[in-house]
Amino acid sequence: MKTKNVELVLAPPTPHMVGDGFRVHNFIPSGRNLDMKRMSPFIMMDYNSKFYFPPTDQPRGVSVHPHRGFETVTIAYKGKVAHHDSSGNSGIIGEGDVQWMTAASGILHKEYHEEEFSKNGGDFQMVQLWVNLPAKDKMSTPKYQGITNDQINKFELPENGGEIEVIAGQYENVKGTASTFTPVHLLNAKLDKGAKSSFNFPANYNTALLVIEGSIKVNDVKNVPANHFALFENEGEEFIIEATENTIVLILSGEPIDEPIAAHGPFVMNTQAEIMQAFNDVNMGKFGFLED
């Protein structure tokens, strides 16, 4: 089996604020090397690296905003987020949990730091991914998968080397908890220092990883430190990561959706006409109602 090599390693871009509650490094899209097509079906990745938010009585976050045409996946490593949407879903994403929201035909959404976390303050660390939907599913009914950490299927590595949390897709004989519209693998590798783990994805799948904690060596040659993103070539199938200290790595791999992308703000469709329709539908109240 041919080795899948690292194409490039990206340092965390200058952070910016999303609302007043998320201090993020935007890795996807990130210039010509990493546009929406290059990492399809992953069309956006914001990473809130570990950041201390001081106590406040007024929870920080992002007020009501629409989405259409894709899914948002929020993975919590530190801190807690409370969310609400216009389909009547609400809940709290705690440490280790995942929120997989299919906006599809349209939804209004808001997310804030959870009340108790806001009052106490603390370290906050999360990833938000946008996963594109194929044209045939973009106008399907919105749905929601709230996945607590104890619901995530896990693969135990030999010799107490750590574990692989299989959020979506498959690792070895363990199937992911989340359901997806197209083939998507989303894994949290939690490796102890010195542990090695191999991964295997089809050559044409767009594959990358983000080091959340610690540092790793890929294929015995490429060092990737904390908060850095590694993009793999679309050649070969297998790569090996070794934890050079206790490490958490988010690994993503998916089959590209080979369709046109028209994107504007919170809408990702296939044509500009569909983007205009999305704006019209929001203005006409077709995304429902959600109080700020």
The residue-averaged pLDDT of 160-188 equals 97
Structure tokens at 165: 């949390």
Residue carrying the six token digits 């799948």: 205
- 54: in domain: yes
Domain ranges, residue 99: 6-254
pLDDT in tens, 66-77: 999 999 999 999
For residue 265, report the phi and psi dihedrals to the nearest 5 degrees.
55, -120
- 284: in domain: no
* CATH value at residue 163: 2.60.120.10
Report how far apart, in Å, the C-alpha atoms of 95 and of each of 33, 66, 150, 185, 205 are: 32, 25, 11, 21, 29
pLDDT in tens, 90-121: 899 999 999 999 999 999 999 999 999 999 99
Taking the C-alpha atoms of residue 50 and residue 212, their distance in angstroms, rounded to an integer, is: 9
Taking the C-alpha atoms of residue 129 and residue 144, their distance in angstroms, rounded to an integer, is: 15
Select from 14, 256, 273, 289 the least CA-distant residue to 132.
256
Q: Is 108 exposed, middle or buried (0-12, 13-18, 19+ CB in 10 A)?
A: buried
What's the mean per-residue pLDDT of the chain? 96
pLDDT in tens, 4-59: 999 999 999 999 999 999 999 999 998 767 889 999 999 999 999 999 999 999 99
Taking the C-alpha atoms of residue 152 and residue 150, their distance in angstroms, rounded to an integer, is: 6
Residues 6+ away with beta carbon under 8 Å from 273: none
Q: Is the pLDDT of residue 233 over 90?
A: yes
Q: Where does the pLDDT of residue 1 fall: very low under 50, low under 70, confident under 90, or very high at 90 and above?
A: confident
- 276: in domain: no
Domain count, the chain: 1
- 71: in domain: yes
Q: Is the pLDDT of residue 89 over 90?
A: no
pLDDT in tens, 214-227: 999 999 999 999 99
- 105: in domain: yes
Q: Where does the pLDDT of residue 198 fall: very low under 50, low under 70, confident under 90, or very high at 90 and above?
A: very high
Q: pTM for the whole thing?
A: 0.97
- 204: in domain: yes
Q: Where does the pLDDT of residue 292 fall: very low under 50, low under 70, confident under 90, or very high at 90 and above?
A: confident
Long-range contacts of 88-96 (CB under 8 A, 24+ apart): 89/144, 89/146, 91/146, 93/146, 94/148, 94/149, 95/149, 96/148, 96/149, 96/152
- 273: in domain: no
- 117: in domain: yes
**261 CB neighbour count, 10 Å cutoff:** 18
Taking the C-alpha atoms of residue 33 and residue 7, their distance in angstroms, rounded to an integer, is: 10
